[in-house]
Amino acid sequence: MAAARAELAAQGLWCETSAAAGLAGLRAHGPREDEGPVVCVVTSSGYKDVATGTETYAPTAADRAAIEASLREARGR
């Protein structure tokens, strides 16, 4: 879950570790190719996790193409 929290932080989403459980599960088990887009809900702000806020990240534009490009970059593709 810490790796998922760091991945979200790199995308500008600040959450506490437990809120990254959905993304951690997705990364561990992955969607099947035929399932289409997947949405992971993050339900906390991360204000309780001071260590997350020590780095600064550029915001991601709020359009699908920019988000997909950011996700591909984060996955190393």
pTM to 2 decimal places: 0.55
Predicted confidence band of residue 50 (pLDDT cuts 50, 70, 90)? low
Q: What is the pLDDT of residues 13-45, one digit of tens each?
A: 888 888 899 999 988 988 777 777 888 888 776
Residue at 49: amino acid letter = D
Question: If 0-12 CB within 10 Å is exposed, 13-18 middle and 19+ buried, where does residue 38 land?
Answer: exposed
Note whether 35 and 8 are within 8 A (CB): no
Return d(Cα 70, Cα 41) in angstroms, integer: 18
User: Could you tell me which residues come within 8 angstroms of residue 55 by beta carbon, excluding any fewer than 6 positions away?
Assistant: 9
